[in-house]
Protein backbone atom coordinates (compact mmCIF):
# COMPACT_ATOMS: atom_id res chain seq x y z
CA UNK A 1 0.00 0.00 0.00
CA UNK A 2 2.79 2.40 0.86
CA UNK A 3 4.49 1.75 -2.47
CA UNK A 4 1.24 2.13 -4.44
CA UNK A 5 0.36 5.29 -2.52
CA UNK A 6 3.77 6.86 -3.13
CA UNK A 7 3.83 5.86 -6.78
CA UNK A 8 0.34 7.25 -7.41
CA UNK A 9 0.78 10.25 -5.14
CA UNK A 10 -2.55 9.40 -3.51
CA UNK A 11 -3.98 7.91 -0.32
CA UNK A 12 -7.48 7.44 -1.76
CA UNK A 13 -9.03 3.97 -1.79
CA UNK A 14 -11.97 3.85 -4.20
CA UNK A 15 -14.98 1.95 -2.84
CA UNK A 16 -16.49 0.62 -6.04
CA UNK A 17 -20.09 0.84 -4.82
CA UNK A 18 -23.21 0.97 -6.99
CA UNK A 19 -26.94 0.91 -6.34
CA UNK A 20 -29.07 -2.17 -6.95
CA UNK A 21 -29.74 -3.20 -10.54
CA UNK A 22 -32.21 -5.92 -11.56
CA UNK A 23 -30.32 -9.13 -12.42
CA UNK A 24 -30.96 -8.65 -16.13
CA UNK A 25 -28.91 -5.43 -16.02
CA UNK A 26 -25.91 -6.76 -14.10
CA UNK A 27 -23.75 -6.53 -17.23
CA UNK A 28 -24.24 -2.78 -17.10
CA UNK A 29 -22.68 -2.69 -13.63
CA UNK A 30 -19.48 -4.30 -14.92
CA UNK A 31 -19.22 -1.85 -17.82
CA UNK A 32 -19.74 1.10 -15.46
CA UNK A 33 -17.16 -0.21 -12.98
CA UNK A 34 -14.60 -0.75 -15.73
CA UNK A 35 -15.21 2.74 -17.09
CA UNK A 36 -14.79 4.42 -13.71
CA UNK A 37 -11.60 2.49 -13.02
CA UNK A 38 -10.20 3.47 -16.40
CA UNK A 39 -10.82 7.16 -15.71
CA UNK A 40 -10.01 7.56 -12.02
CA UNK A 41 -7.04 5.22 -11.52
CA UNK A 42 -4.47 8.06 -11.72
CA UNK A 43 -6.00 9.59 -8.56
CA UNK A 44 -6.30 6.50 -6.32
CA UNK A 45 -3.96 3.89 -4.80
CA UNK A 46 -6.35 0.97 -4.23
CA UNK A 47 -9.89 -0.27 -4.81
CA UNK A 48 -12.27 -1.74 -2.23
CA UNK A 49 -15.01 -4.10 -3.39
CA UNK A 50 -18.01 -4.99 -1.23
CA UNK A 51 -20.60 -7.78 -1.25
CA UNK A 52 -23.05 -5.76 -3.33
CA UNK A 53 -20.67 -5.85 -6.29
CA UNK A 54 -19.65 -9.49 -5.82
CA UNK A 55 -23.28 -10.65 -5.66
CA UNK A 56 -24.35 -9.51 -9.16
CA UNK A 57 -21.00 -10.00 -10.92
CA UNK A 58 -19.67 -13.20 -9.34
CA UNK A 59 -16.32 -13.71 -7.62
CA UNK A 60 -14.65 -15.57 -10.50
CA UNK A 61 -16.53 -13.79 -13.29
CA UNK A 62 -16.97 -10.02 -13.40
CA UNK A 63 -15.14 -9.32 -10.13
CA UNK A 64 -12.05 -11.24 -11.23
CA UNK A 65 -12.03 -9.19 -14.45
CA UNK A 66 -12.10 -6.03 -12.35
CA UNK A 67 -9.24 -7.27 -10.15
CA UNK A 68 -7.12 -7.92 -13.24
CA UNK A 69 -7.83 -4.38 -14.44
CA UNK A 70 -7.04 -2.99 -10.98
CA UNK A 71 -3.67 -4.75 -10.95
CA UNK A 72 -2.83 -3.62 -14.50
CA UNK A 73 -3.37 -0.06 -13.34
CA UNK A 74 -0.84 -0.48 -10.52
CA UNK A 75 -3.47 -0.60 -7.76
CA UNK A 76 -4.30 -3.03 -4.96
CA UNK A 77 -7.65 -4.79 -4.55
CA UNK A 78 -9.27 -5.05 -1.09
CA UNK A 79 -12.26 -7.31 -0.43
CA UNK A 80 -14.58 -5.77 2.14
CA UNK A 81 -15.98 -9.12 3.23
CA UNK A 82 -16.24 -8.09 6.90
CA UNK A 83 -15.50 -11.75 7.60
CA UNK A 84 -17.38 -12.69 10.77
CA UNK A 85 -17.80 -16.45 11.21
CA UNK A 86 -16.12 -19.48 12.77
CA UNK A 87 -12.54 -20.29 11.81
CA UNK A 88 -13.16 -23.08 9.28
CA UNK A 89 -15.67 -20.95 7.40
CA UNK A 90 -13.42 -17.91 7.58
CA UNK A 91 -10.51 -19.87 6.16
CA UNK A 92 -12.57 -21.04 3.19
CA UNK A 93 -13.86 -17.50 2.55
CA UNK A 94 -10.30 -16.18 2.55
CA UNK A 95 -9.05 -18.91 0.23
CA UNK A 96 -11.74 -18.15 -2.34
CA UNK A 97 -11.22 -14.39 -2.30
CA UNK A 98 -7.44 -14.65 -2.40
CA UNK A 99 -7.73 -17.17 -5.25
CA UNK A 100 -9.74 -14.57 -7.16
CA UNK A 101 -6.78 -12.19 -6.82
CA UNK A 102 -7.65 -9.95 -3.88
CA UNK A 103 -4.65 -8.50 -2.06
CA UNK A 104 -6.35 -8.03 1.32
CA UNK A 105 -9.51 -8.87 3.26
CA UNK A 106 -11.42 -6.89 5.86
CA UNK A 107 -12.59 -8.88 8.91
CA UNK A 108 -14.60 -8.19 12.06
CA UNK A 109 -12.60 -8.65 15.31
CA UNK A 110 -15.78 -9.37 17.30
CA UNK A 111 -15.24 -13.05 16.44
CA UNK A 112 -12.09 -13.28 18.57
CA UNK A 113 -8.72 -14.85 17.82
CA UNK A 114 -8.87 -18.60 18.46
CA UNK A 115 -11.02 -20.34 15.81
CA UNK A 116 -11.99 -16.90 14.55
CA UNK A 117 -9.37 -14.51 13.21
CA UNK A 118 -6.39 -16.81 13.56
CA UNK A 119 -7.17 -18.97 10.48
CA UNK A 120 -7.62 -15.79 8.43
CA UNK A 121 -4.24 -14.43 9.44
CA UNK A 122 -2.62 -17.81 8.83
CA UNK A 123 -3.95 -17.99 5.25
CA UNK A 124 -3.07 -14.38 4.52
CA UNK A 125 0.49 -14.86 5.77
CA UNK A 126 0.98 -18.06 3.76
CA UNK A 127 -0.14 -16.27 0.59
CA UNK A 128 1.54 -12.95 1.43
CA UNK A 129 -1.76 -11.08 1.50
CA UNK A 130 -3.14 -8.53 3.94
CA UNK A 131 -5.67 -8.52 6.79
CA UNK A 132 -7.50 -5.35 7.76
CA UNK A 133 -9.67 -5.23 10.89
CA UNK A 134 -12.77 -3.18 11.64
CA UNK A 135 -12.34 -0.87 14.60
CA UNK A 136 -15.14 1.69 14.38
CA UNK A 137 -17.52 1.83 11.43
CA UNK A 138 -18.80 4.99 9.77
CA UNK A 139 -22.58 4.66 10.25
CA UNK A 140 -24.59 6.21 13.10
CA UNK A 141 -25.40 2.92 14.81
CA UNK A 142 -21.72 1.95 15.13
CA UNK A 143 -21.69 3.24 18.70
CA UNK A 144 -24.05 0.46 19.82
CA UNK A 145 -21.38 -2.15 19.20
CA UNK A 146 -17.97 -0.64 18.52
CA UNK A 147 -18.53 2.19 20.98
CA UNK A 148 -19.80 0.19 23.92
CA UNK A 149 -17.92 0.07 27.23
CA UNK A 150 -16.47 -3.33 28.07
CA UNK A 151 -14.37 -4.95 30.79
CA UNK A 152 -10.89 -5.80 29.54
CA UNK A 153 -10.53 -9.55 30.28
CA UNK A 154 -6.78 -9.18 30.88
CA UNK A 155 -6.74 -6.12 33.13
CA UNK A 156 -10.28 -6.14 34.53
CA UNK A 157 -10.52 -2.41 33.72
CA UNK A 158 -13.28 -0.64 31.84
CA UNK A 159 -12.40 0.33 28.30
CA UNK A 160 -14.11 1.15 25.01
CA UNK A 161 -14.68 -1.62 22.50
CA UNK A 162 -12.94 0.21 19.65
CA UNK A 163 -9.90 0.92 21.83
CA UNK A 164 -9.72 -2.78 22.64
CA UNK A 165 -9.90 -3.61 18.92
CA UNK A 166 -7.15 -1.09 18.16
CA UNK A 167 -4.88 -2.77 20.72
CA UNK A 168 -5.67 -6.18 19.24
CA UNK A 169 -4.84 -4.94 15.73
CA UNK A 170 -1.35 -4.13 17.01
CA UNK A 171 -1.10 -7.43 18.90
CA UNK A 172 -2.14 -9.47 15.86
CA UNK A 173 0.11 -7.46 13.50
CA UNK A 174 -2.83 -6.49 11.30
CA UNK A 175 -2.08 -4.75 8.01
CA UNK A 176 -4.71 -2.09 8.59
CA UNK A 177 -7.58 -0.95 10.77
CA UNK A 178 -10.86 0.74 9.77
CA UNK A 179 -12.09 3.83 11.63
CA UNK A 180 -14.95 5.90 10.19
CA UNK A 181 -14.17 9.34 8.83
CA UNK A 182 -17.44 10.46 10.41
CA UNK A 183 -15.67 10.26 13.79
CA UNK A 184 -12.40 12.24 13.56
CA UNK A 185 -11.97 12.19 17.35
CA UNK A 186 -11.96 8.40 17.31
CA UNK A 187 -9.36 8.42 14.54
CA UNK A 188 -7.18 10.54 16.85
CA UNK A 189 -7.67 8.13 19.74
CA UNK A 190 -6.91 5.06 17.64
CA UNK A 191 -3.89 6.76 16.09
CA UNK A 192 -2.51 7.19 19.59
CA UNK A 193 -3.10 3.51 20.42
CA UNK A 194 -1.55 2.04 17.26
CA UNK A 195 1.38 4.50 17.30
CA UNK A 196 2.04 4.16 13.58
CA UNK A 197 2.26 0.35 13.75
CA UNK A 198 -1.03 -0.21 11.92
CA UNK A 199 -2.28 2.10 9.12
CA UNK A 200 -5.76 3.58 9.50
CA UNK A 201 -8.35 3.36 6.71
CA UNK A 202 -11.26 5.80 6.98
CA UNK A 203 -14.55 5.30 5.10
CA UNK A 204 -17.68 7.46 5.20
CA UNK A 205 -16.47 10.37 3.08
CA UNK A 206 -19.16 12.51 1.47
CA UNK A 207 -22.49 10.68 1.46
CA UNK A 208 -22.21 9.73 5.16
CA UNK A 209 -20.97 13.16 6.21
CA UNK A 210 -17.26 12.57 6.74
CA UNK A 211 -14.68 14.79 5.06
CA UNK A 212 -11.38 13.68 3.59
CA UNK A 213 -9.54 16.68 4.98
CA UNK A 214 -10.68 16.15 8.58
CA UNK A 215 -9.98 12.42 8.45
CA UNK A 216 -6.43 12.97 7.23
CA UNK A 217 -5.84 15.73 9.77
CA UNK A 218 -7.01 13.38 12.53
CA UNK A 219 -4.52 10.73 11.47
CA UNK A 220 -6.06 8.57 8.73
CA UNK A 221 -3.40 7.05 6.49
CA UNK A 222 -5.89 6.17 3.74
CA UNK A 223 -9.38 7.42 3.01
CA UNK A 224 -12.03 5.17 1.50
CA UNK A 225 -14.36 7.01 -0.87
CA UNK A 226 -17.33 5.47 -2.65
CA UNK A 227 -20.48 7.30 -3.70
CA UNK A 228 -18.72 10.68 -3.67
CA UNK A 229 -16.89 9.39 -6.77
CA UNK A 230 -19.00 6.56 -8.21
CA UNK A 231 -22.27 8.54 -8.10
CA UNK A 232 -20.73 11.83 -9.26
CA UNK A 233 -21.74 13.35 -12.59
CA UNK A 234 -18.04 13.34 -13.46
CA UNK A 235 -16.19 10.68 -11.38
CA UNK A 236 -12.80 11.77 -12.74
CA UNK A 237 -13.22 15.37 -11.61
CA UNK A 238 -14.59 14.21 -8.25
CA UNK A 239 -11.53 12.02 -7.65
CA UNK A 240 -9.16 14.77 -8.76
CA UNK A 241 -10.85 17.31 -6.48
CA UNK A 242 -10.65 14.94 -3.50
CA UNK A 243 -6.99 14.31 -4.11
CA UNK A 244 -6.27 18.04 -4.33
CA UNK A 245 -8.21 18.67 -1.10
CA UNK A 246 -5.86 16.51 0.99
CA UNK A 247 -2.52 17.31 -0.61
CA UNK A 248 -0.15 19.02 1.75
CA UNK A 249 -1.94 17.87 4.91
Residue positions annotated with a catalytic role:
82
**Closest Cα partner for 107 from 118, 34, 99, 96?**
118
Q: What DSSP string describes 155-211? A: T--EEEHHHHHHHHHHHTT-SEEEE-TT-HHHHHHHHHHHTTSS-EEE--BSTTSB-
118 alpha-carbon distance from chain centroid = 19
Widest CA span in the chain: 55
- Cα separation, 239 vs 228, whole angstroms: 8
- Residues 77/70, Cβ–Cβ less than 8 Å: yes
- Residue 129 gets which letter from DSSP? -
Amino acid sequence: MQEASQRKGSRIVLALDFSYEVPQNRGRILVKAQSILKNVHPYICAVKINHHLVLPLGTFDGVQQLIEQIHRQGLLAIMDAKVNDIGATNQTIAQYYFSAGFDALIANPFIGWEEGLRPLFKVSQLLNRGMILLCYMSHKGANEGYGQTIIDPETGEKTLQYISFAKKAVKYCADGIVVGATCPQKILEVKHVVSGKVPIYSPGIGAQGGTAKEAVKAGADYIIVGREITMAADPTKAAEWLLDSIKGI
